[in-house]
Structure formats: C-alpha cells, structure tokens
Amino acid sequence: MEAILVDCAQKSLRHFMHSNAIFISQRLCAQFPSETNLQLLAGCYLQSNQAYCAYHILKGTQMAQSRYLFAISCFHMDLLSEAEAALRPADEPGAEVPNGAAGHYLLGLIYRCTDRRKNAIQHFKQALSMDPLMWAAYEELCILGAAEEATVVFGEAAAFCLQKQYLNCSTSPNSHMSPEHSNEVAARPCMSEEASPRQLKQMQSLKDIATYHHGASILGGAAGQPINSSSSNMSYYNTPSPMVAQLSSVAPPPLCRNVLPNGQNLTTLSTDSSPKSTVNSPIQAPRRKFVGEGKLRKISGRLFSDSGPRRSSRLSSDSSVNTNANSTVVSGNGTNNSYKGGSKLNHMAFRTMAIRKGQSWANENIDEAKSYEQEAATFHIGGQVTSGSKVITGTSEILTLLRVLGEGYRLACLYRCQDALDTYLKLPQKHYNTGWVLSQVGKAYFELVDYLEADCAFSRARQITPYSLEGMDIHSTVLYHLKEDMKLSYLAQELISTDRLAPQSWCAMGNCYSLQKDHETALKNFQRAVQLNPRFAYAHTLCGHEYVALEDFENGIKCYHSALRVDSRHYNAWYGLGMLYLRQEKYEFSEHHFHMAYQINPRSSVILSYLGTALHALKRSGEALAIMEKAILEDKKNPLPMYQKASILVSLERIDEALDVLEELKEAQPRESSVYALMGNIYRRRHMHERAMFHYGVALDLKPSITDAAMIKAAVEKLIIPDEFQDEDDS
C-alpha cells in the first residue's frame, strides 16, 4: 500500500496534478507516518507554491533532505536566518551541507541576500566544483563580479568531473539509489583537486576512443543495448582504480571484464578494425591531453536630459588485485602487451614493477582496459540509453558550449560589452538565435548606448520566444530613450497580458507613463514591480528616478539605497545618487557616488562625463579634463563629454581650444542647440556680437528645452540692451 501511494503521488507530480499529489501524500502520511513521507508531502506543497505548508510540516525534522526542503520553504518566505540554520546547524559546524551542490547554491543565495559577499562567493564556487553544469551558480558569480574565466571553470577539471560522474556512477551495480543515498553522493565534490598528469594519462584513451564510431559502441554489439551487470557470463575485475582513489576515499564499482555485449572478447579486436572518423562539434576546441576535446545610459540625444542610465558515492567495497595468469592485458592502443615477451603476469611481476616505477604497469594497463569497457558499456542517463563514447563526446560538447556562453555573460557583467558581443558571435546559429542569448546581446548594446541595435536584438528575441520576459524591462527602457511611445505602449500591454505578476511587465508600463511625463502614475507602476519582487533592483532604481523627477529627493535617495541593498553592483543606483547630489550642488557626495558607479562600469562614457562635471565643480579642473578625454575615447558618438570639455576650457580661459572643440562637435552633432548657445556665449565675451546673435538664433531655431530657451533669450537681451543705450548716447 505504501509503495502504491508513493508512486501515485510522484506520478501526479510528474503530471503537474498538485492537488491530487497533496491529497494522496496526506493519506500516505496518515497511514505510514515517517519523515521520508513527510518530505514527499512537503515537496508537493512546495511545487504548488505553498511554502508556508512545507515550513510547518518540516519544522524540527533532522534528515538531510528534510532540512534542505525546510530551507527552501524558509527562503521563499524570506526567513533567511532559519534557512541558514537548517543548512548549517550551529551545533554541527562541520556537518556537510545537505543536497550537495544544490545545498551550497541555496546557501550562497542566502549569504548574498544577507550581504555576506565573501561567503556567497565561496559557496557558489563550491556548488560549481561539485556540479560543473550548475549554470545558476556561475551566473551568480558573474553578477557578483567574482567569476573566473569560463575556460577555467568549464575546462579540464569540469570534464574530468562529469565523465567520472556519468561513466563511473552509471556502471555501478547499485545505480538505482535511494534519495537519501543520492544526496550523500551529490555532497562529494568531483573537483576537490586538479587532475594529476598520471590521471590525465590514464584517461587519455577515452579521448582517443571518442574519435571512433561516434554514436555507436566501437567494440561491436547493438548500439544502445544495455549490459546486464548480473549476467552469468560476465566476470569482474576487483582492481580499484588508482585514479579514482586519489580523488575519493571510497572505491569505485567493479568493472566488467573484457567481454562484449555479444560475448566477443576484447583481445580479438584491434583499433585497425574500425575506420577513424572525426566527431562533429559545433565549436572546435583546441586539442589537449584530456578526456574531452579541449577544456571541456542612459543618455538621450539632448545634452541636458534629466534622466541617466535607466532605465557520487561508490557502493562497492575496497578489493584486492586479482590477476589471472592466463589473461592478456590490453593496452590503450588496442594491441596485446606482455611483460618481457611473455603472456603471463604474476603477483611478483606486479610487485617488482610497482617498486621500480612507483605504480604497477599492469594496473595502468588494466585502467586502459577499463576505458575500453566503459566505451563498450551502455548507460541510462536522463531516461535514455547511450554509449560511453557519446557520454564522452557529449560532455565535451556541452562544456565547449558553456565556455562560450559563460565567457560572454562574464564579460557582460564586467561591462566589457563589445568583448561580450564578439564572444556571443562564436556561438552556433541555433544557439545564438535563442531568446536568452539575444536578450543578452540587447543588454550589451543598451550599455553601449546603441539603442537601435538593442531594439533589434530585443525584438528578435521577442519573436523567437514571445512567452519569455527575459530582458523586457531593459527593452522598455530602450524604447523610452528612442521615444517610441507607440511601440512602448504595445510592448507594455503585451507583457501585462502575458504575466501580470512579473515585475518586468510593470516596469514596461511605468516607462510608458514616464515617457508621457505622467511621473505619478509611472511611480505607482514601478512600486507595483517592487511589491511583486522586492529583490528586483532595477525597479527600485526606476522608482528613484521618478521621485527625482517629482523633486522628492528624500524618497529618491531611499529607493536608490534599496536597490543597492539588493545588488551593490547595480551601478544605475550609484549613478542616480550622483545625479541627485549634483542637482543639490552637493558636489563631494556627487563625486563619490559617480566614482562608485565608475568603478563598477569603467567604460561608460556617460558616467565619466558626469564624474568630470563633479570634479570641475570641486575646482579639480585638471582631473576633470583628463576624465573628459577618457569619456570621449570610450564613446566618440556621445556629445556630452566634448561639450563638458569645452565648458571646462572656457572656465580656464582657454577660449581658442574651447572653440576648436565646439567646431568639431558642431560638425558631428549639427542639431544640438546647446553647442550653438555655448558658442554664442564665447563670442559675446569676445564682443563679437554679430556672431553671438547668429549662434543664439540657431540655438533657438533648434527648439531647445524650456529652461535652455529661457537662458538663451536672457543672453540675447543682454546683447540688445547695451546696444540701445549706446545709440541713445550717440544721439
């Protein structure tokens, strides 16, 4: 009865029938009360988004899986201290974190949410070392700015870990483990140390074999035919692998001897019997001696715009070496080897070789035979039957892909956006043309202030995955800067109809109202986004922008600080604080916050420009000029740093240099009214009134902002009135 109820509940979960799974699990716990059954019931509640039920069910439980599920429920309820205590009990400081890589990842999230960056980085790295395919952990490290290069993270050590996991674990006679035992296995790191040269040599034969008969077992027999480990015609080596023994204190499972699925013996085969073929891979990695193939803002066109950048345990016991005097050892190259011309190896020979060379030559050959056997074996992975060669090439291809994706994402998080774009271009077309990648491309163009290209990338992502909201908050900001009110309104309505409970939808709606200068309604929409996800840093920043637009500086500061509590590397909030203090003429505060934004995003021409402005206001004009020069080099299309440079030169009485800069800027940006207004001011100071009036007139014709227009008209009046007084004196 118990087994039937468990199976029914699990089947209901697989079919997403959560209410039925909960009901059956309740009957199960009533009839057979146990902590294991409580785990199933709690899991049903968690999957149906009822974390509070799982919390009360599991409170006080002691099993590792129970503590993990309890921590998950606490995390969803924002009870971070209880979640941490469940994963790392205070009375057991040396206890393993439950659920291995997943547990370390969850603990890393908890530390990140509680502003313990160093501890968070440590646990994210530990999660990656246990499971190299835990992309989420690498993503978090990138966001924290602490990720290693993807070629290192998804390199040789990761390939060794994955192949060790799939090839060794899958051949275990006890491959169907209980959930508790699976958790114990997962808690052991695969990459606790770098693979030694001998380990690499011993695994080399796997790489060589992988280049033969891709997709089928090279040793004959039906591809995909499983080997029954309990078959009577199969004997086992009892030799533990020295390679695995270095990485784990537990011995590996016994391996099948040189027997094929069809009964053929390995000694009758040689590699010459199979033609060599090349494994096709979408990205060719450099060949190395290892198992796998390679190491498996915002600123608008106007200069005086108010807004800134927006928007595996081993089950067999240790066993001794058991060599058969009549057996033939097969080497990695497929040829029969004998010791000094003989075909028999005894214990004394092994011993002598071990003393002479430090490791048994026969053991090494057995390891190579083991590689062949793993190639010949078939494995059940993810519900599919696959061959050993496919496992090897598959891990290599996966890691090759992750190296490109990971490096692109890492560079983007470091705001090396052009380098990130170049990296993404190395992807195969079928991966490049996916919603996630195109959204990352759009974000990179957004940071480069190339809004047209960003819009194209986001629009293409929307066409491919219209159900995904990835990056749509940034897309709405792109449309805000392009002043595409119709497209922005359509996008906001689409996102709301897709998911009303997503913060991205309400950010898009808020940007739509903000573009219409309805800042109060925009603020309400951004606050709704914050309410839906309080850890959505960008929504806090957008709230800050709207408060500043409403001149509510106190609440604006609070919103920016809330964004920084969520993500201290969210440079937009540092920038917003810098702009706020600049408007309040608190130049020291302004310079500090612009400098913090610059440290996070040192390639932003906009941040550099306003940092220079703050430095100039602090009478540090030399530093300001140097910063402006750097801003110009970062983005030659941005007119702001050139304009600010000219203004600084005018204040230093270097008029001719200022005019040269403005003339160059006028050629590049012929419709910037502020350029003509500044040139008019220079000519007025030089008493060249006709030229001054001409440039003031052009500036007014270009329809500047109301504030700028008032300033220009006031300057014109100062030119006209003195001339009238002079005419009266002459008469």
| CATH number of the domain encompassing residue 634 | 1.25.40.10
220 dihedral zone (left: phi>0; alpha: psi -120 to 50; beta):
left
Going by C-alpha positions, the residue among 283, 623, 597 that lies closest to residue 425 is 283
Last residue of a domain, one of 567, 598, 614: 567
515 and 556: one domain? yes
Tell me the whole-structure pTM to 2 decimals. Answer: 0.72
What residues pair up with 236 in beta bridges, in sequence order?
A: 256
Find all residues with CB under 8 Å of 116, minimum gap 6, and list them: none
Question: How many structural domains is the chain composed of?
Answer: 3
In this prediction, residue 159 carries a pLDDT of 85
What residues pair up with 385 in beta bridges, in sequence order?
A: 380
71 part of a folded domain:
no
List the structure tokens of 526: 């951004």
479 and 548: one domain? yes
Last residue of a domain, one of 567, 596, 618: 567
Cα angle value 686/690/692 (rounded, 5°): 55
488 and 547: one domain? yes
Q: Alpha helix (H) ranges present in 601-635?
A: 605-617, 621-634
pLDDT confidence of 165, banded at 50, 70, 90? confident
643 and 710: one domain? no
Q: Which stretches of 331-471 are assigned E, i.e. beta strand? A: 336-337, 378-381, 384-387
148 part of a folded domain:
no
598 part of a folded domain:
yes
529 and 591: one domain? no
538 and 616: one domain? no
424 part of a folded domain:
no
pLDDT tens by residue, 122-156: 999 999 999 999 999 999 999 999 999 999 999 98
496 part of a folded domain:
yes
212 part of a folded domain:
no
The DSSP H or E segment spanning 504 is helix 503-515
| Range of weakest confidence among 372-376, 386-390, 495-499 | 372-376
pLDDT confidence of 28, banded at 50, 70, 90? very high
| Range of weakest confidence among 352-356, 383-387, 725-729 | 352-356
Residue 438 burial by Cβ neighbours in a 10 Å radius (0-12, 13-18, 19+): buried
652 and 599: one domain? yes
473 and 563: one domain? yes
Provide the 8-state DSSP code for 414. Answer: T
In this prediction, residue 394 carries a pLDDT of 84
703 part of a folded domain:
yes
Q: Are strands 336-337 and 329-330 parallel, antiparallel or unpaired?
A: antiparallel
655 and 675: one domain? no
| Range of weakest confidence among 93-97, 511-515, 580-584, 678-682 | 93-97
Find all residues with CB under 8 Å of 19, minimum gap 6, and list them: 48
What backbone phi and psi angles, to 5 degrees, belong to 49?
A: 65, 40
pLDDT tens by residue, 414-432: 999 999 999 999 999 999 9
648 and 692: one domain? no
What backbone phi and psi angles, to 5 degrees, belong to 135?
A: -60, -35
In this prediction, residue 201 carries a pLDDT of 41
What are the Cα distances from residue 80, in Å, to 54, 77, 112, 389?
15, 8, 11, 44
- Share of residues in the chain with pLDDT > 90 (%): 57
pLDDT confidence of 371, banded at 50, 70, 90? low
In this prediction, residue 379 carries a pLDDT of 67
537 and 590: one domain? no
20 part of a folded domain:
no
pLDDT tens by residue, 396-408: 999 999 999 999 9
In this prediction, residue 668 carries a pLDDT of 86
Residue 659: give the domain boundaries.
Answer: 586-663
Q: Hey, what amino acid is at 5?
A: L
488 and 560: one domain? yes
CA distance 269 to 153: 38
